[in-house]
Amino acid sequence: GKSAQFPLQSWLLDAMEGPTPVSALIHAATMVTAGVYLVVRAHAIFEAAPAAQTAVVAVGAVTLLIGAVIGCAKDDIKKALAGSTMSQIGYMVLAAGLGPAGYAFAIFHLLTHGFFKANMFLGAGSVMHGMNDDVNMRRYGGLRSVMVVTYVTFGIGYLAIIGIPPFAGFWSKDKIIEVAFTESWWAGLAALLGAGITAFYMTRLMLMTFLGGRRWESTVHPHESPPVMTAPLIILSVLSTIGGLLLFVGGGIVEWLEPVVGSEEHEPPIPVLALTGITLIVIVSGVLVAIRMYGAGRAISRTAPTHVTAFTRAARRDLYGDAVNETALMRPGQYLTRSLVYVDNRWIDGLVNGLAATFGGSSSRLRRWQTGYVRSYALSMFGGAALVVAALAVVML
């Protein structure tokens, strides 16, 4: 839940209603990524329970695909990036479940993801600033000519997240795919497929936002953000370019984490260069599909099409994650809560309050005999004595 992994991922998209700088921190440096650190740090527990370790891999694989698919259908720029965060953390969780070979690379991807995702979220904030806080990419287009710094820095983040060398994401994601194929073919295929889908939806985002024709309203006047907003973008774009290489060269990140997570040793079933080539082919294929659908010469409507496939409709609704959670968890939980409240009020509180009322009523009736007058007590004593005498007389007869 903390890392927005399946099936507790729905909250992450809703969190996009907050301020964009906060989103950048949540997605890049804190909150969701902390769950990955927790799993890696508790690796000894998971190694003692192979079933739990397999569950971690499965959850990561499913989540990275779900997040990528959701990102393909979002027109809200922040929610598209939120889908990518869900997917990228799925990669980290997948690696964290692969054992000693994946621990270091999970943290490696956590760090590089912090560079390019903070870059892109702040870039999205810059775009929103120039577009009067509009988040709908269908009303963007052609912003590269009026927001040059934002376009270039966001583009660097884009190249990093899809895994183009030598940008940061290439070094970490490529190693996760490599380790995934070493440990399990199905995990490797999931990671490879996720790379292709990531390339598609991020290229779609770039085309709809910065390229193509202008689709904004006449009342909107896009402009570049002030230096106080673009300076962090430049710094993060530099880290998105060289950060991965700096952490990777000489086995830096792996050797640094070795005392904590142990040494990583893996032998992929496919030669490393061949696997890297296959991954790049899949990535380029995703880019080309996006260009074919949203590139030059393709008209992009200012409103989302209503006549779409069932799969697209499901992706727009987050693959019905909210509906499933409401049906499977929320409604049964509400019913259970109401039932417990009824039992508590009618039975538990009723029993306690009933006993109190019974003793209270008895006390009220007994108080009537306590008048405080001596003559009343004398009369009571006389009446009691008369009853005793009468009883003895009956017994003696």
Distance of CA 380 to the CA centre of its chain: 79
Measured CA to CA, the distance from residue 229 to residue 322 in angstroms comes to 35
pLDDT band at 43 (very low <50, low <70, confident <90, very high): confident
pLDDT of residue 198: 93
Task: Name residue 367's amino acid.
Answer: R
Residues 6+ apart with CB under 8 A from 259: none
Q: Which of 190-204, 305-319, 359-373 has the lowest mean pLDDT?
A: 359-373
Average pLDDT, the chain: 83
Q: Is residue 236 over pLDDT 70?
A: yes
**What pTM was computed for the model?**
0.78
Q: Which whole number is the average pLDDT over 228-256?
A: 83
- pLDDT tens profile 61-82: 998 998 889 888 888 888 888 8
Q: Which whole number is the average pLDDT over 115-139?
A: 87
pLDDT of residue 105: 86
Q: Indicate the length of the chain as a whole number.
A: 397
- Work out the angle between the directed axes of helices 50-73 and 77-96 (0-180°, nearest 10): 160
DSSP string, 133-197: T--BGGG---GGGT-HHHHHHHHHHHHHHHT-TTSHHHHHHHHHHHHHHHH-HHHHHHHHHHHHH
Measured CA to CA, the distance from residue 21 to residue 13 in angstroms comes to 15
